[in-house]
């Protein structure tokens, strides 16, 4: 960075100060993310497999109970869908209507990103940011991490707790925190969903799907 002119040492640790508030959490690393992904998959299987097995057993023992089996299978399908919906919520636009200061905030956010990211934000309200852990989509109250390869996503709830800020300022807060310390950002944030990208994509609005596709493209190239 720019050399400090008057006794201006940077934060030597390079970590987010917000980490002090979640000292009990294990720092997020590439390995930790892989483990988290596997745990989410196992958890989902554990939640759904009993319904599938019960549906099969019932239908086999008593074909007349096939309608019950169908209900059980619907349950097995709905559970992961609910998880994915929770993940989709992190990139949902929080409030309708225009904040009077949004154009000013948008100008500052635009100064922080390149042309491609600006264009994507104009259409989706999401900022695409490449990181070491994958490709991020940053919203005003959450972020989606598309892991390298583009198949798995991690959705995080994270926000700046100031309700008066315009949406683009909220996004800029998250973007700057992410750039300062990507692993720290993921540690501070609350994980809302980890799973297959296709499952999340189905729960997103059309314009947000385009952003997710762009992030997946970046993630596949990384």
Euclidean distance between CA atoms 171 and 136, whole angstroms:
12
Closer residue to another protein, CB minimum distance, 69 or 168: 168
Question: What part of residues 80-99 is at the interface with another protein (CB under 8 A)?
Answer: 90
H or E segment and range at residue 168: helix 167-180
Interface with another protein: number of residues (CB under 8 A): 61
Using CA atoms, how far apart are residues 59 and 193, in angstroms rounded to an integer? 32
State both tokens at 153.
């996503």
Query: Which residues, other chains included, contact 129 with Cβ-Cβ below 8 Å and sequence gap of 6+?
Result: 113, 117, 135, 136, 137, 138, 175, 178, 179
Least gap, CB of 215 to another protein (angstroms) = 14
Residue 63 binds another protein (CB under 8 A): no
Q: Is 111 in the site for another protein (CB under 8 A)?
A: yes
Q: Using CB under 8 A as the criterion, what x/- string covers residues 143-162 for binding another protein?
A: -------------xxxxxxx
State whether residue 191 is helix, strand or coil: strand
Sign of CA dihedral 81, 85, 88, 92: positive
- Out of 2, 46, 64, 115, the only residue in the binding site for another protein (CB under 8 A) is 2
The nearer residue to another protein, 48 or 181, going by C-beta atoms, is 181
Where do contacts with another protein occur on this chain (CB under 8 A)? 1-11, 14, 16-18, 21-22, 90, 101-108, 111-114, 117, 129-132, 141-142, 156-162, 164-166, 168-169, 172-174, 176-177, 179-180, 182, 185, 188-190
């Amino acid at each position: 960075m720019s050399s400090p002119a008057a006794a201006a040492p940077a934060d030597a640790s390079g970590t987010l100060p917000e980490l002090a508030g979640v000292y009990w959490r294990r720092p997020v690393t590439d390995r930790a993310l892989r483990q988290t992904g596997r745990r989410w998959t196992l958890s989902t299987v554990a939640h759904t497999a009993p319904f599938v097995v019960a549906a099969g057993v019932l239908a086999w023992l008593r074909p007349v109970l096939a309608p019950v089996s169908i209900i059980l299978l619907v349950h097995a399908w709905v559970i992961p869908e609910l998880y994915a919906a929770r993940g989709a919520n992190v990139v949902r636009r929080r409030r309708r209507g225009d904040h009077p200061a949004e154009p000013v905030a948008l100008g500052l956010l635009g100064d922080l990103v390149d042309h491609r990211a600006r264009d994507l934000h104009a259409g989706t309200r999401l900022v695409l940011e490449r990181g070491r852990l994958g490709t991020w989509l940053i919203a005003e109250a959450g972020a989606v991490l598309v892991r390298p390869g583009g198949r798995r996503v991690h959705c995080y709830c994270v926000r700046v707790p100031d309700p008066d800020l315009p949406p683009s300022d909220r996004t800029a807060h998250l973007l700057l925190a992410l750039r300062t310390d990507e692993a720290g950002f993921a540690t501070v944030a609350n994980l809302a969903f980890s799973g297959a990208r296709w499952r999340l994509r189905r729960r997103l609005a059309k314009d947000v799907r385009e952003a997710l596709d762009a992030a997946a493209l970046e993630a596949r190239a990384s």
